[in-house]
Amino acid sequence: MHGASPTPLLGTTIGGFLDRAVQRWGDRPALVVREQNLRLSYAELGRAVEQLAAALLARGLKPGDRVGIWAPNCAEWVLTQFATARAGLILVNINPAYRTHELAYALNKADCAALLLTRRHKDSDYLAMLRELAPELRDAAPGALHAQHLPELRNVVLLEDTSEAGVLGWNTLLDSVTAESTEFLNQIAATLNFDDPINIQFTSGTTGQAKGATLTHHNLLNNGFFVGEAMRLTEQDRLCIPVPFYHCFGMVLGNLACITHGSCMVIPGAGFDPLATLETVAEERCTGLHGVPTMFIAELNHPRFNEFELGSLRTGIMAGSPCPTEIMRRVVNAMHMRDVTIAYGMTETSPVSFQTTPDDPLERRVSTVGRVHPHIEVKIVDTEGHIVPRGITGELCTRGYSVMLSYWNDASRSHEVIDAAGWMHTGDLAIIDAQGYANIVGRIKDMVIRGGENIYPREIEEFLYTHPQILDVQVFGVPDPKYGEELCAWIRLREDQQLSDEDIRTFCQDRIAHYKIPRHIRFVDSYPLTVTGKVQKFHMRETMMQELDLTVARTA
C-alpha cells in the first residue's frame, strides 16, 4: 500500500526552506536552550546560521566535505545542523557515548575534514580522547592538523572559547567570516540540489562495524515536514526536545518538524533528565514533548511529577522502541497529551514510515504505529520475498523519498538492505490490518523460535504490562539445549512492590499459551540503554548467557 496525499513533497534544500521560514516567521521564537539561557527568534536563527556557514567555508571547507559533530544537545548543535546544510557540507553525527575506537572509526569512515566537539559531557572527556587519537594536535596550528591515525582531519573546533594548541574556539571560528566566504556561500546556494547528501548517521553497530546511513536534504526535510503535519504543528507550538540530536529523533522529528511549521524548538538540557524536562515543559508552557518510552516512564514516575503544571501539553511523539499500551494511556491522561502520536521508522528511512494522528481513535493510537506516511510505499513479505495478505506477519519493506542513498562507502551492505527495485528491507516483523494500521511485532533477529513455535517478545511484554505491580518489562530469547530457545523476562516492579518468579508464572497460567510463559525471570532495577534511551536486549541476552550453564551458551 502507499500513502497517497494531496500535499506535495517539498522540492527545496534545507537552507532554502530555512530562508522561507525566516521570511515568514522572523519575529516568532525559534530556539530556546534552557541550560544555556539562550533564546533566538527565527530572524536571529537565520543570521546565526548564515554566519556559521560562511565561517566554515572560510576555514577552507567546501561543498561535499564531511564535518563531524561530537556533542550533546546544545545551541551550537542546532546551528551546525543548519549551517552545514546551507553550505552543502555533509554533517556526520557522532554518538556522544562513543569512545576512542568508535570515534576513530566514524571520523575515518567518513573522511571527516573537520570535527566540532564539546570539551566534556558527563564522564566523557572528549578533548582528551581526541588528543589520545591525535597527539599531533598539541603541536598543530588551528586548521592545519596532520594526524597519523586521523589522516583527513584538519580542523578541530571546540564549542567554547579556547586558546589551546591546534584547536579553534567557537567565537574565533565565527570571527573567521570574510567577504569572500560570504560571497562563496551565496554562490553555493544556487548550485545545491535537494538530492545532495547532507547527513551521515551511524547505526548502532551491534553486529560488526557501524554503518553510515547517508541522507539527503529531500530525505530529511520532507520527513520532518510530514511528521509535523501529523502532529498538527503550527507557529503557536513550542516543542520540548529531550531526545538527542545525533539521532533522527532529535534532529528530524524535533528540529526539522519545528522549522517546517514555524514552531519553537525548546531544549531542556544537554542530556535527558526527567526533572529538567518536567521543569522545562512547565516553565516554557510547551505544547509538545518527544521521548522514547523509557523517558516517559521516568517522567511519569518521578517523585515530583504532581508538582508540575503540564496542562499546556497537547501533542508530541513516543517512538524509538515499542510503546507499551499502558504507558501511552498514562501519557494521554496524566500528562494531558491528548494528541500524542506514535511514530515508527529507522535511520535508513529518514526515519518515519508510519505515524498515528490525532484523528485516529485512541485505541488505535495506543495499540498500533498508525498508517503509512504520505508518499511512502510499504509491503509485507514472507521469508521468500512474496507479499503476504493483510493480517499476516512478515518483514516490512519501504520505498519512496525517505530511503537513504546508501551506507557511506559500503556498497555491499547497502545492497543487502536496498534491493534492485528500491525497497528498503527493514528487518522488522509487522502486520497491517484491513484499515491500514500497522503493528510492529518485533525484529526478525529478536523473534524467538521455541521448539518450532514462533514467539514475538512484544506480545508477551504487552501482556505482562497488564500486571498492576509491574512498571516495565523486557522479554528476549536465550539459547536452550532442548527447545533451541527459551524466553527470559527482565522485570522492573513499581516502587515498594514485591513479586516472585512463581507469582509471574501464576499470573500467566491459563491466560497465555504455556510456551509463551518465560522460563527465566529476573527482577531488575534498570536496563542497559543506549544514549537515546533504547533498551539493549543483546546486552541482557549476553548477561543471561553468562549466568546460565556454559554448555547452554555454546549451543547458540
Contacts of 231 (CB under 8 A, 6+ apart): 257, 288, 315, 316, 317, 339, 341
| DSSP letter assigned to residue 82 | H
Whole-angstrom distance, CA of residue 59 vs CA of residue 123: 31
Domain map (residue ranges) of the chain: 14-193, 448-553
Q: What is the mean pLDDT of residues 187-197?
A: 96
The chain-wide mean pLDDT, for the chain, equals 93
Round the CA-based radius of gyration of the chain to a whole number and report it.
24
Say yes or no to pLDDT of 261 above 90.
yes
pLDDT of residue 236: 98
pLDDT of residue 207: 42
Whole-angstrom distance, CA of residue 534 vs CA of residue 523: 19
The tens digit of pLDDT for each residue in 395-446 reads: 999 999 999 999 999 999 999 999 999 999 999 999 999 999 999 887 787 8
Judged by average pLDDT, the poorest of 266-275, 319-328, 540-549 is 319-328
Instruction: Give the CA distances from residue 103 to residues 79, 96, 144, 496, in Å, rounded to whole numbers and listed in that order.
Output: 22, 10, 20, 42
The tens digit of pLDDT for each residue in 303-323 reads: 999 999 999 999 999 987 767
Confidence of residue 204 (pLDDT cuts 50, 70, 90): low
pLDDT of residue 325: 79
Helix 100-109 and helix 126-133, axial crossing angle in degrees, nearest 10: 70
Q: Residues 472, 529: contact at Cβ < 8 Å?
A: no
The tens digit of pLDDT for each residue in 318-376 reads: 987 767 778 888 999 999 999 999 999 999 999 999 999 999 998 898 889 999 999 99
The tens digit of pLDDT for each residue in 471-498 reads: 999 999 998 877 778 999 999 999 999 9
Q: What is the mean pLDDT of residues 285-306?
A: 95
Say yes or no to pLDDT of 551 above 70.
no
Superfamily of domain 448-553: ANL, C-terminal domain (3.30.300.30)
Q: What is the mean pLDDT of residues 446-451?
A: 80
Whole-angstrom distance, CA of residue 22 vs CA of residue 31: 13
Provide the Cα torsion 222, 226, 229, 235; round to 10°. -30
Confidence of residue 93 (pLDDT cuts 50, 70, 90): very high
The tens digit of pLDDT for each residue in 98-113 reads: 889 889 999 999 999 9
Q: Residues 202, 348: contact at Cβ < 8 Å?
A: no
pLDDT of residue 513: 79
* Top CATH class, 14-193: alpha beta
Say yes or no to pLDDT of 540 above 90.
yes
Judged by average pLDDT, the poorest of 67-76, 235-244, 443-452 is 443-452
Most confident range, picked from 70-79, 202-211, 514-523, 538-547: 70-79
pLDDT of residue 163: 86
List strand residue ranges (DSSP E) for 1-159, in order.
29-33, 38-41, 66-70, 90-93, 114-117, 120-121, 124-125, 155-158
Judged by average pLDDT, the poorest of 169-178, 187-196, 319-328 is 319-328
Whole-angstrom distance, CA of residue 110 vs CA of residue 118: 20
Confidence of residue 208 (pLDDT cuts 50, 70, 90): low
* Residue with the three cell numbers 498515528: 356
